């Protein structure tokens, strides 16, 4: 029910912006809503894979889909099932919604950089910000 209400609100926002901006091709949702598709990159683009944030299941906790090939970047990360957006802006991936496998801090600009574990250094950017690394 909560997801349906959010979907209706987003559709209303999109329609209202289209009405006031004369139906321009760039949607307000693209400007306001965070991306749900990300590119996870290790050590300066040596390897990359796809990560997708799914539906929010509680405050700050969303479902997460990690491509199986992400294991090459950080063994065990493919087991992550939850995206936890923390109050300080950091993001943690976990298998159980509590114990982090990897934790990211907001990076300069848009995206995130890992800080735990310390190695390998991982960056997480919206998939539209660069080419896909599936």
Average model confidence (pLDDT) across the chain: 77
0.85 cut: is pTM over it?
Answer: no
Q: What distance in Å separates the CA atoms of residue 44 and residue 52, rounded to the nearest whole number?
A: 20
Q: What is the CATH number of the domain that holds 108?
A: 2.40.128
pLDDT tens-place string over residues 12-62: 434 433 433 344 343 333 333 457 999 999 986 678 999 999 999 999 999
Residue 134 belongs to some domain of the structure: no
pLDDT tens for 73-100 read: 999 999 999 999 999 999 999 999 999 9
Domain check: are 100 and 122 in the same one?
yes
Q: Which domain covers residue 106, as residue numbers?
A: 35-129
Residue 106 token pair: 């907001």
């Amino acid at each position: 029910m909560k997801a349906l209400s959010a979907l209706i609100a987003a559709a209303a926002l999109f329609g209202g912006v289209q009405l006031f901006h004369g139906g321009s091709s760039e949607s307000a949702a693209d400007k306001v809503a965070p991306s749900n598709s990300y590119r996870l990159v290790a050590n300066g683009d040596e390897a990359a894979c796809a990560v997708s944030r799914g539906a929010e299941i509680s405050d700050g906790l969303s479902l997460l889909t990690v491509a199986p090939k992400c294991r090459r970047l950080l063994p065990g990360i493919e087991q992550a099932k939850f995206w936890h957006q923390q109050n300080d802006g950091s993001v943690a991936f976990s298998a159980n919604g509590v114990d982090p496998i990897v934790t990211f801090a907001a990076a300069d600009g848009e995206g995130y950089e890992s800080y735990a574990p310390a190695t390998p250094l991982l960056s997480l950017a919206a998939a539209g910000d660069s080419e896909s690394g599936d």
